[in-house]
Each structure stands twice: as structure tokens, then as C-alpha cells.
Structure 1
Amino acid sequence: MRSLLWLIDNIITIYVYLLIASAVLSWLVAFNVVNVRNPIVSQIGDFLFRVTDPVLRPIRRVLPNLGGIDISPIILVLGLFFLRNLMFELFAGLA
């Protein structure tokens, strides 16, 4: 059971890093620091979009329009941290 908790914890941690990388890349593209026409940047951006957008899309539908500010990654990170802590609290006695 402890190995399964460790695996889920690491998957959540990696996904949080991917969310942060996606947000930072979107800022870099918005401020013209990196160019999307660069093939490597385009591939990285496409990968991050495909990995994070299916989870962020339902959150964006529920949130009110805040102009140009997208807080859906923050809400998802908080939810993932809550889920991880809840998982450890619920299964701590079993491990």
C-alpha cells in the first residue's frame, strides 16, 4: 500500500510541475520572450497543452471571466495538493 501511495504522490507532483511549466511557457509566449515558430518551443508547448488542457478546461468553464487572468492552474494545484494530503490521511493507518 505504501508503494501505491508513493507512486500516486509522485504522479501528482510531476503533474504540478507540468502545470507550472505550462503557465510559465504561456507567459513567455505572451510577452514575446520565446517564439512559437521555433520547432522545439512549439513541440514543448503542444505537449504541455495536450497534457494540461483536458483537466483545466472544466475548471475554466466554471470560473467567472476575470479578463486576461487565468487562475485555473492555481485552483487545480490547490485541488491536487488537497487530494494528496487527503489520500495520506485516509490511508496512513493502512500503510
Structure 2
Amino acid sequence: MTSLIQILLLILDVVWFIMIAHIIMSWLINFNVLNLGQDIVRSIWYGLNNLLEPIYGPIRRFLPQMGGLDLAPLVALIAVYALRIVLINNAGAFV
């Protein structure tokens, strides 16, 4: 059972890093450091969007409209970290 918890923690870590990459890339695009006119930037951006939209979509429907501010990535990061904490703290119950 410990292996299953470690696999779940690995998946949460991968999701965490993908979300961090998406957030940093959105900042770089908004501050015109990266340009979506470049093929590699555009393909990475749309790939990250397609990966994370199933996570962000339900959160965006739940949150109120904040104008141009999207809080879905922040809520998702907190949720992933909270799941990680719950798994680590309850790992002893599964042994």
C-alpha cells in the first residue's frame, strides 16, 4: 500500500510542476517576454492549457468572476498541496 501512496504523491508532484510551469509561462506571455507568434511557445502554451483545463474548468465555474484575474490556478495549487498533505499524514493508516 505504501507504493500506491508514493505513486499518488508522484502524480501530485508532476501536476504541481506542470501548474507552476503554466503559471510562469502565463506571466512571461503577459509581460511580452514570450511571444505566442513563435511556434514552439504556442505549442507548449496550448499543450499546457489542454492539460490543465480539466482541472481549472470546474474551479472557474465555482469561483465568481474577478474581471481579468483568474484565481483558478491558485485554488488548484492549494488543492494539490492539500491532497499531498492529507496523503502524507494518513499514510500510516494504509499500512
Give the TM-score normalised by structure 2.
0.89
Residue of structure 2 equivalent to 1:85: 85
Deviating above 6 A after TM superposition, structure 1's stretches of 4 or more consecutive aligned residues are none
Q: Distance in 1 between matches of 2:64 and 2:79?
A: 18
Distance 1:28 1:85 in 2: 30
What corresponds to 2:26 in structure 1? 26
Give the superposition deviation at 1:91.
3.5
Relative to the length of structure 1, the TM-score reads 0.89
- When the two structures are aligned, how many residues end up with a matched partner? 95
Percent of aligned pairs with the same residue? Answer: 32
Question: Partner letter of residue 31 of structure 1?
Answer: F
- Counterpart amino acid of residue 39 in structure 2: P
2:50 matched residue in structure 1: 50
Give ranges in structure 2 of 5+ residues lacking alignment: none
What RMSD over aligned residues (CA atoms) do the two structures have, in Å? 1.3
Q: 1:94 to 1:54 in 2, by over 3 A?
A: closer
Q: How many angstroms does 1:18 deviate by?
A: 0.7
- Find the aligned partners of 1:49 and 1:17 in 2 and give their Cα distance: 14
